[in-house]
Amino acid sequence: MKSFYVRIVIATFTVMIISSLLAFFISKGYYQIFLKPANDARITDMAQDIKQYVENEEGAVDESYFSHLADLGYQLILYHENGSESQFGSYFRHNDLTHRRDRESLGRRTISWSYRATRRFFNNVSENTIGVPVETTEGTTAMFIRPDHEHQLEEFVFF
């Protein structure tokens, strides 16, 4: 009798583990194939829209505009040509952008998401940003932006 129960418990745990792993890999594949390109395109479009607004605005865009973007649920870092840095929105857990990426963005190259794995989507590090060069009155600025998930999904924290 005891061995029958042991077999049922082992079979149950085996099915649960295999099902969990299978569900994880299927959902990760679905995200990588269908959802990630849409998320990348949406944030890239947002970054390009911000760039276009800043570059085409008649008067100089001041920091209040970027603070407003942060209030709408985005995290931004601006690297100016003079070496100064401005951050808007909640602070990143790690500011791990490399100087190479800063220079590439200042060199008029758009840097896209660095999501190498599904777990990185909610990872609050500055490497998980899209960088675009923005022409301002002070010169070229490298703007790195990402959604602030803590701000945007604030109401789900209690669940």
Q: Domain ranges in the chain?
A: 2-156
Assessment of whether the complete model's pTM goes beyond 0.85: no
| Residue 143: predicted pLDDT | 86
The DSSP-derived string for the chain is: -HHHHHHHHHHHHHHHHHHHHHHHHHHHHHIIIIIHHHHHHHHHHHHHHHHHHHHH-SSPP-HHHHHHHHHTTEEEEEEETTS-EEEESSPPSB----HHHHHHHHTT--B-----SGGGGG--BTTSSEEEEEEETTEEEEEEEEE-HHHHTGGGTT-
On the question of pLDDT at 89 being above 80, the answer is yes
Over residues 86-109, mean pLDDT: 66
| Residue 118: predicted pLDDT | 40
| Residue 32: predicted pLDDT | 83
